[in-house]
């Protein structure tokens, strides 16, 4: 079984990929542009976008663990909730969700409110 990493081409996602690669994990990196993605060797790029639930569903086939980093976009909460639903349907056993520190304290900040939810 493999690990799917969202946000894989950003600063945090790249660090997650490197960390997992050092441990010999079977890693898939969700990216909108697999041909352009600069990924470590051994990481499998998977075309997908959290705004396209069918692509997420396809990317989650055979995945045991999901690292979910949702972009700071207007429909961030919707993308997160839909992705979590599809992950459950796909039988994903473990989910790591990157949130924000003390999100509940600053729930009046729009980006934090979605994370807190």
Per residue in 47-78, pLDDT tens?
Answer: 999 999 999 999 999 999 999 999 888 788 89
Q: Taking the domain 2-116, which CATH number applies?
A: 3.40.50.720
Question: In terms of residues, how long is the chain?
Answer: 117
Of 7, 28, 1, the closest CA to residue 80 belongs to 7
Radius of gyration of the chain (CA): 14
φ, ψ dihedrals at 27, nearest 5°: -115, 135
- What's the pLDDT score for residue 67? 98
What pLDDT sits at residue 69? 94
How confident is residue 13, by pLDDT bands cut at 50, 70 and 90? very high
Does 115 or 71 have the greater pLDDT score? 71
Q: Domain residue spans in the chain? A: 2-116
How buried is 41 (Cβ within 10 angstroms: 0-12 exposed, 13-18 middle, 19+ buried)?
exposed
Higher pLDDT, 111 or 35: 35
Report field, pTM of the whole predicted structure over 0.75: yes
- Give me the pLDDT at residue 77, please: 87
Read off the pLDDT band of 82 (50, 70, 90).
Answer: very high
Quickly state the pLDDT bin for 116 (edges 50, 70, 90).
Answer: low
Rounded Cα distance between 92 and 75, Å, is 23
């Amino acid at each position: 079984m493999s690990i799917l990493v969202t946000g894989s081409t950003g600063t945090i996602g790249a660090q997650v990929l490197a960390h997992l690669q050092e441990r010999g994990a079977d890693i898939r990196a969700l990216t909108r542009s697999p041909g352009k993605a600069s990924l470590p060797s051994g990481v499998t790029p998977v075309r997908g976008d959290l705004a396209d639930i069918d692509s997420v569903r396809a990317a989650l086939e055979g995945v045991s663990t999901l690292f979910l980093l949702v972009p700071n976009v207007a429909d961030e909460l919707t993308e997160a909730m839909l992705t979590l639903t599809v992950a459950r349907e796909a039988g994903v056993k473990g989910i790591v969700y990157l949130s924000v520190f003390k999100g509940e304290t600053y729930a009046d900040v729009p980006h934090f409110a979605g994370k807190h939810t």
